[in-house]
Amino acid sequence: MIHLKYPDLFKFRHDSKMRHHLANTFLSITFLASIPWMIMIVPVGLILGGLRAIFGPKPAGRPEKLAKSMPDDDSGISAESADSENSEAATTTTSPNSSENSEDEKEDPPQIFDFKLVTVKQKYLEFSENLGVLISEYVARLQKTPVLVTLRDVATLTNVTSSAENTARIPYKKRKMKVMLIPMESISEILEHSKESDGSPVMIYLLEEMESIDILAENRKFVNEIKEIMSENGEMETLDKSTSEFLMIKKDALVWVNSGF
């Protein structure tokens, strides 16, 4: 069993405390000595940065020609390019409107006829020297297809020869109603020869779409309509029932039903 003498034990404890105090003292001195340097980091950095900016090498400037060609502002867009973009935007904005206007001009017929209103759907128009020409121009402009409907002999109205290709004959009472595809040029002579009418209605339908005269003659709505008009001799109430556009031709005038005006 080891027995330490009291002086040796006291000496061991004393040395241990001294080492502990020396370590604490060293750390405290080191920390206190570093405080001024930590405080000086920011101002010293600012001072060094300022000296570098003043006395350091400056960046090379832009060449004179390049500087002149480039815009002064930071956006990188010159006034000319901005104007061009604005003009393009204006063109893009107005182009749909201009196309719509052109379509409206194409669809809306010119106001060249001296109409007299009969009803909302019927307009009365007296014969004039160039009436047939004006109607033909209207038909051509709107790309409509004229179809003659009459009980009369077609040869008394137009010089166009009736054939199986352009004419369909629909039974009506004891007679045959002729439904004939005609050229636009025939409108004028039909108007002229209608003055010698026997009193039976003469109509020129202005159709937008038509596959063939035979298919038209098989259209029950169309056939029933023209039969009713014939039976009522073109009475006002009968014409108001129609949804088609056509000319009801009389001796000295015509009634334009469902006109595009």
Q: What domain range includes position 7?
A: 1-55
C-alpha distances out from residue 13 to 16, 18, 159, 207, Å: 5, 9, 144, 125
Is 96 within the bounds of a domain? no
Q: Structural domain tally of the chain?
A: 2
Could you tell me if residue 247 is left (phi over 0), alpha (psi between -120 and 50 degrees) or otherwise beta? beta
Q: What is the pLDDT of residues 188-198, one digit of tens each?
A: 999 988 877 66
Q: Using CB atoms within 10 A of its CB, is residue 250 exposed (0-12), middle (13-18) or buried (19+)?
A: middle
Q: What is the pLDDT of residues 23-80, one digit of tens each?
A: 888 888 887 887 877 787 877 788 888 777 787 665 555 445 444 445 454 444 444 5
Task: Summarize the confidence of residues 243-259 as an average pLDDT.
Answer: 90
pTM to 2 decimals?
0.58
Q: Are residues 47 and 155 in the same domain?
A: no
Q: Are residues 27 and 147 in the same domain?
A: no
Domain-terminating residue out of 33, 55, 77: 55
Is 191 within the bounds of a domain? yes
